[in-house]
Structure 1
């Protein structure tokens, strides 16, 4: 990686023939359909249901999980189970019994054939018009005499909170005395979505590489004293359009480019990039309309006469980088999220960093802040429940190493060395090569 950055620094240092760095980029014609190919989601979804969901039910200690899908106001878990095209009310039921794992769907007749064609469920029961799919599912539940029935009502997990008040009312009325067996699906959804298949990790790896490569390319477009933070953001938006990818989070705040004082989660402004600035790019893309990256890259704009960043800036950079490496080393199966946060906070204190409010990291995958253990809480007045969760093999994270310092104008600047990693059996590994050196941009 150091060799790669050495080449990059030469390019950034000398820029164009006239000594400036071009503000325009050469573009290539990309056909997104050819570049990405068909989405692997249908097969991955099927594999996730058959291989990961049985264990999730077991870990959550529930006998069954019931999800109700419908048109226009669907459950957030719908497309993970094949219910994204529901018109009339459909019930998806997953359970373990003495014969193994089963998935059974009660679907309106108008959608049952297409759902069955997906071949991701053991059985699709066609429900005639005028007949309640929920009532049929309840009859089956009573027949099976499930001890616990998980439903999507959750106080802590938005992905497990899709059951509406009226749907819950109707379900409880039909269940009668069985309604006391309803439990939140919080743990089921957590256990299932927090683990990614190896195929998904490889997709995230590709997304992460694009994200990092484009940020480095964006830095090559900077002309100090002329280019703005918004110019960098526009360049990255253009790359997204060329490659047919979407925003990793809210479009107005992706990418977040900031060459000034900390702004938190925000949009890029028209601030002009000047010599002496430390530039942050926080950027993520969504590929196959499904998997999301979250990577940051940092650069320093050299002042006249400088050939490297000042010692203070280098100290901040090396401190943040060391914190990131410490977090990766602590990210092992069996440890808690709060322990990973603590590992890099110790180094922050030793390096003299100001307090940073942000968690060290978060799960990343289907969304930027995905379901799974939060890597934070060690310096908070209270620890989030998700920070007490155990890290497991197959989880993917975006995480930072921090160093914050005061600026002359009274503001605060934070270097947050953010990388992505996957947890393996014996520890975590970066999805791509991490940034080792602060990128340098010459002023003239």
Structure 2
């Protein structure tokens, strides 16, 4: 991990699909062996049942399929059971096609054709004290069990076990937000991939002032990833702020000399997601650097970043961190808007939010606690008056990816501290 971002990052080598699958399966195996048992024991839950149908995958179950199982098959049921006394957590699947190597098959349709009955029999045989199901009113990540599948499960569940049902919300969120050391050896390279493609898009190679539109740049980034065989979890956003113009200009806006170009961009690689916002300045004739006021605006955004990362502490809620970071930034005379979020298997990942752009006063979605070994998108805006633009207030939107190890927050591949210059 680097705290300094490379000015012209080179594109890292990319794995073949076959090699990516091997890496993804190795990571998944290690996570199943370590993360799930830890979470179940921390929460005092001895059985976790996940149910999904083809094309309607639970957000958690979808991340537990091996690299060749792109979808659930028919109905896929996964069962984790902790037998206690320090014995390994059992990984079982009540599914017609199974998941060999990851989950042990626990259903023989020729002996018991009814899949739900087979699940009920399995639960009765294991006799768990608590059965976690993915039902949550607060987060979609813990709410993957559909009504019809819950009804089928409950109908098949022997009566004595129905009172043992508990929410699997904390298991779901914990699974999705926790990063293991092997993933963290790879994550900086995933961010470097995003930074390298972004540097191409914010360059004279792509942007021709007076010709190129903001949509042209967005589609360049999307096409570039496609040619590399890399996915994006959202369509790139590109816009400009311009002296004398109000707000952000985007769509078919033609980029001109003197514009401040902004982009929001994310990639998905090895099942890990990035989320980055960078700023570039299109030099006017005779200029060799951006106006001092624009450079000061980015520096203000960096100071808000510092306020956010300095406020992280295990056990605090997202709302706590938001309030502390805003207090630090405002005390320095800054004008912050903070809306940072977890990152990992999903771009807007599982875990507590740290503000929203339209709510800086805390939110129920930010009430959960922050844990160590989690990755974050440090996303925010610092509004700053630019003297060279007649005092016009400009929004300096920044977003960088970082890892919280429980003690400090470190950027995965540095952060932007100087405006990219487009010549």
Give the TM-score range, shorter chain: 0.7 to 0.9
More helix, by proportion: 1
Question: SS where residue 429 of structure 1 aligns?
Answer: strand
Change over 3 Å in CA distance of 1:4–1:196 after alignment to 2: closer
Q: Is the deviation greater in 400-409 or in 197-206?
A: 400-409
Q: Which residue of 1 aligns with 2:193?
A: 210
1:189 maps to 2:189: no
8 Å CA contact 1:363–1:371 kept in 2: the answer is: yes
Aligned to 1:126: 107
Q: Distance in 2 between matches of 1:3 and 1:201?
A: 18
Residue aligning to 1:244: 229
**TM-score (normalised: structure 2):** 0.84
Partner of 1:440: 421
Gaps of 5+ in 1: 9-27
Residue 387 (structure 1) aligned with residue 366 (structure 2): yes
Q: Is the 8 A contact 2:94 2:118 kept in 1?
A: no
1:417 to 398, 402, 405: 398
**1:56 & 1:245 partners in 2: Cα distance?**
31
The separation in 2 between residues aligned to 1:98 and 1:37, in whole angstroms, is 35
| Residue correspondence of structure 1 range 255-270 to structure 2 within 5 A | 255-260=236-241, 262=247, 269-270=251-252
8 Å CA contact retained: 1:373, 1:388: yes
Q: How far 1:167 sits from its partner (Å)?
A: 1.9
* Alignment map for 1:40-189 (pairs within 5 Å): 40-82=23-65, 86-99=72-85, 100-108=87-95, 110-112=96-98, 115-116=99-100, 119-121=101-103, 123-129=104-110, 131-175=113-157, 176-189=159-172
RMSD: 3.3
Q: Secondary structure at the match of 1:274?
A: coil
> What is the Cα deviation at residue 236 of structure 1?
1.6
Comparing 146-155 with 344-353, which one deviates more in the overlay? 344-353
Distance 1:214 1:268, change over 3 A: farther
- Contact kept, 8 Å, 1:333 with 1:423, in 2: the verdict is no
Match of 1:396 in 2: 375
Q: Distance in 2 between matches of 1:150 and 1:413?
A: 48
In the alignment, what sits opposite 2:209? 224
Output the CA distance in 2 between the equivalents of 1:388 and 1:245.
34
- Alpha-carbon contact 1:323-1:400 (below 8 Å) kept: no
- Return the offset for 1:294: 0.8
Please give the residue correspondences for 1:335-350 in structure 2 after superposition, counting only pairs within 5 Å: 335-350=316-331
Change in Cα spacing, 1:310 to 1:346, as seen in structure 2 (3 Å) is farther
Aligned-pair distance for 1:430?
A: 0.8
Distance 1:166 1:2 in 2: 50
Tell me, in whole angstroms, the C-alpha distance in 1 between the residues paired with 2:385 and 2:201. Answer: 27
SS at match of 2:138: coil
Shift of 1:98: 2.2
- How far the C-alpha of 1:195 sits from its partner, in A, is 0.4
Secondary structure of the equivalent of 2:323? helix
The 1:282/1:103 distance shift into structure 2, 3 A limit, reads same
Matches within 5 A, 1:320-335: 320-335=301-316
Residues in 2 aligned to 1:246 and 1:415: alpha-carbon distance in whole angstroms? 27
Aligned length: 405
Give the C-alpha shift of residue 39 in structure 1.
4.2
Kept after mapping to 2: 8 A contact 1:322/1:401: no
Length-normalised TM-score, structure 1: 0.80
Pick from 225, 234, 257: which aligns with 1:275?
Answer: 257
Change (3 A) 1:107 1:278: same
Measure how far apart 1:297 and its partner are: 1.3
Matched-pair contact (CA < 8 Å) for 2:261–2:280: yes
In terms of mean alpha carbon deviation, does 74-83 or 175-184 score higher?
A: 74-83
Gaps in structure 2 of 5+ consecutive residues: none
How many Å separate the matches in 2 of 1:365 and 1:374?
14
Q: Secondary structure at the match of 1:65?
A: strand
